[in-house]
C-alpha cells in the first residue's frame, strides 16, 4: 500500500511539475487536450451494437454459472467455457477470478442437491437489457435474466422444468482504446430466495439480499377497538418423511385454479393488479391473487387490521401484501392452518420463510406442483417457477419454515 501510494503521489507531483515547466503554448495545448478528453468522455454513448455486446457478455457469465449446476452432456460441453479477457466488450481478470470462485460454489451446491436426488440436465438462458446509462468513462446496464432448467428424471415424475427470472446490474469501464471492461455484476432483486445460480451469499446461504416487508401483524390505529393478540404460527419440519403425506382433500376451494393462476403469471404479471416489487417485494401480493383465483373472497374491514383481507382498484389490506399480516389473517379466519412438515404441502398450500429466525417472516410461496412426495413452489421476488422444497431447504438450511394448509 505504501509503495503504491508513494508512486501515485510521486507521479502526480512530477506531472504537475512538468506541466508548470512547459512553455505557455505547450501548457495551453495540454489544457486543451485534457478538456477535449473530458468533453469526449462526457459525450460518450453506447450504441445498439455495444448494448447487444453487453447482453452477450452477461449471457456468457450467467450461462457459465448455471452450467456448474448441470449434470450431463451439456455440462461437459460448457465446462471449458472461458470468459473473454479481450475484445470490444470483455471482463477484467479480477472479475474472471471471481467467477471461477462462483463456479466452485455452484458445483458444491450441485453436489448437495445430488445428495437429495435432485439434478438438472440442461439449461437455457436469455438476457434482456432493460436500461443502459453512461457517465463519463463508466456505464451501467440493468438486465433481466430468464433461465429455464430441465429436471433430471431420478424419481421419474419430476416436473419437466423449473425456471426463474433475476435482475442484475453490470458495471463497465471504458478502456483507453475504446473497449469496455466488465468490472462488476450485482443482483438487483429485493426479497425472496436468491436464484439457484446466484452466489450473492457465499457464507452458507443464510438469507436473501433484502428481507422486505416484515412488520409485526398488529393494528396501527384507525379503529376505536384493538384487534387483540394475533394467532401464533407453528414451525414446520424440513426432513423428508419416509411415508408420503395423504392427498389434500377439500371441497372449499379450487386448488387447481390457484396453481394454474400462479404458473400463468409467475413471470408475466397480471395487469389487473398493482405490483409491489419496489416497495418490499411482490411475493404476498402474488399468492393473494392466486388464492382469490381459487375462491378466497374479500373480508371487508379496516385495511390495517390483520382480521380483514381485500383488494380493490384503489387500495388493499396490509394482509393482502404483507407476509406476517397474511399469516395472521389466514389463521384467524380459519382459512388455513399450520402443517408440521414442509413436505406435507399440497397444491394451493402456502409456504413462508423466516430467513434469520426472529419470528418475523420474510417470504411467501404457493405450491403449484407435487410429485413423489415433493412439493414444488412458484412465487414472485425472485420470479420463480416450480422450485422444489428440496432445493429451497438445501439453499437455506438455517431458515425457519411455516407451512399453511389452505
Each of the 406 residues of the chain gets a pLDDT tens digit; together they read 334 333 333 333 333 333 344 355 444 444 445 444 444 444 568 899 999 999 999 999 999 999 999 997 766 666 567 899 999 999 999 999 999 999 999 999 999 999 999 999 999 999 999 999 999 999 999 999 999 999 999 988 999 999 999 999 999 999 988 899 999 999 998 778 999 999 865 334 444 433 333 344 444 444 434 566 788 889 999 999 887 777 776 668 999 999 999 999 999 999 999 999 888 899 999 999 999 999 999 999 999 999 999 999 999 999 999 999 999 999 999 999 999 999 999 999 999 999 988 888 999 999 999 999 999 999 998 999 999 999 999 889 999 999 999 9
CA distance 47 to 41: 15
For Cα atoms 187, 397, 362, give the angle at the middle one, nearest 5 degrees: 55
For Cα atoms 146, 150, 155, give the angle at the middle one, nearest 5 degrees: 145
Q: Which CATH architecture has domain 48-187?
A: Roll (3.10)
DSSP for residue 342: G
Instruction: Indicate the pTM of the whole model.
Output: 0.82
Half-sphere exposure of 265 (CA within 13 A, CB side): 22
Residue range(s) occupied by CATH 3.90.1720.10 in the chain? 255-405
Q: Can you say how many angstroms the Cα of residue 84 is from the centroid of all Cα atoms in its chain?
A: 26
255-405 to CATH, choices 3.40.50.300, 2.60.40.10, 3.90.1720.10, 1.20.1740.10: 3.90.1720.10
DSSP for residue 294: T
CA distance 95 to 74: 24
CA distance 333 to 337: 10
Residue range(s) occupied by CATH 3.10.450 in the chain? 48-187
Amino acid at each position: 500500500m505504501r509503495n503504491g501510494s508513494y508512486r501515485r503521489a510521486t507521479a502526480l507531483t512530477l506531472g504537475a511539475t512538468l506541466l508548470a515547466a512547459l512553455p505557455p503554448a505547450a501548457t495551453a495545448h495540454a489544457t486543451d487536450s485534457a478538456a477535449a478528453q473530458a468533453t469526449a468522455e462526457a459525450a460518450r454513448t453506447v450504441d445498439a451494437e455495444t448494448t447487444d455486446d453487453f447482453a452477450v457478455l452477461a449471457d456468457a457469465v450467467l450461462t457459465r454459472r448455471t452450467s456448474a449446476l448441470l449434470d450431463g452432456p451439456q455440462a461437459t460441453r460448457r465446462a471449458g467455457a472461458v470468459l473473454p479477457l479481450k475484445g470490444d466488450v470483455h471482463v477484467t481478470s479480477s472479475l474472471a477470478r471471481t467467477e471461477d470462485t462462483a463456479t466452485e460454489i455452484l458445483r458444491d451446491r450441485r453436489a448437495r442437491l445430488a445428495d437429495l436426488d435432485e439434478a438438472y440436465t440442461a439449461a437455457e438462458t436469455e438476457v434482456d437489457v432493460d436500461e443502459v446509462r453512461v457517465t463519463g468513462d463508466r456505464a451501467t446496464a440493468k438486465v433481466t435474466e430468464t433461465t429455464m432448467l430441465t429436471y433430471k428424471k431420478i424419481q421419474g415424475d419430476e416436473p419437466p422444468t423449473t425456471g426463474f427470472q433475476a435482475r442484475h446490474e453490470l458495471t463497465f469501464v471504458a478502456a483507453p482504446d475504446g473497449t469496455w471492461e466488465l468490472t462488476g455484476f450485482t443482483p438487483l432483486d429485493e426479497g425472496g430466495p436468491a436464484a439457484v445460480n446466484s452466489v450473492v451469499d457465499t457464507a452458507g446461504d443464510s438469507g436473501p439480499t433484502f428481507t422486505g416487508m416484515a412488520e409485526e401483524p398488529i393494528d396501527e390505529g384507525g379503529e376505536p377497538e384493538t384487534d387483540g393478540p394475533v394467532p401464533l404460527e407453528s414451525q414446520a419440519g424440513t426432513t423428508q418423511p419416509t411415508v408420503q403425506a395423504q392427498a389434500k382433500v377439500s371441497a372449499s376451494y379450487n386448488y387447481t385454479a390457484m396453481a394454474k393462476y400462479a404458473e400463468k403469471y409467475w413471470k408475466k404479471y397480471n395487469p389487473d393488479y398493482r405490483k409491489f416489487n419496489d416497495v418490499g417485494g411482490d411475493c404476498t401480493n402474488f399468492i393473494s391473487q392466486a388464492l382469490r383465483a381459487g375462491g378466497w373472497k374479500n373480508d371487508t374491514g379496516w385495511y390495517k387490521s390483520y382480521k380483514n383481507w381485500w383488494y380493490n382498484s384503489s387500495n388493499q389490506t396490509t394482509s393482502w401484501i404483507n407476509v406476517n399480516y397474511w399469516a395472521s389473517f389466514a389463521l384467524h379466519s380459519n382459512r388455513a392452518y399450520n402443517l408440521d412438515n414442509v413436505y406435507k404441502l399440497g397444491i394451493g398450500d402456502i409456504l413462508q420463510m423466516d430467513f434469520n429466525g426472529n419470528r418475523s417472516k420474510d417470504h411467501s410461496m404457493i405450491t403449484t406442483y407435487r410429485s413423489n412426495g415433493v412439493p414444488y413452489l412458484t412465487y414472485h421476488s425472485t420470479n420463480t417457477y416450480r422450485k422444489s422444497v428440496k432445493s429451497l431447504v438445501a439453499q437455506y438450511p438455517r431458515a425457519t419454515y411455516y407451512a399453511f394448509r389452505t
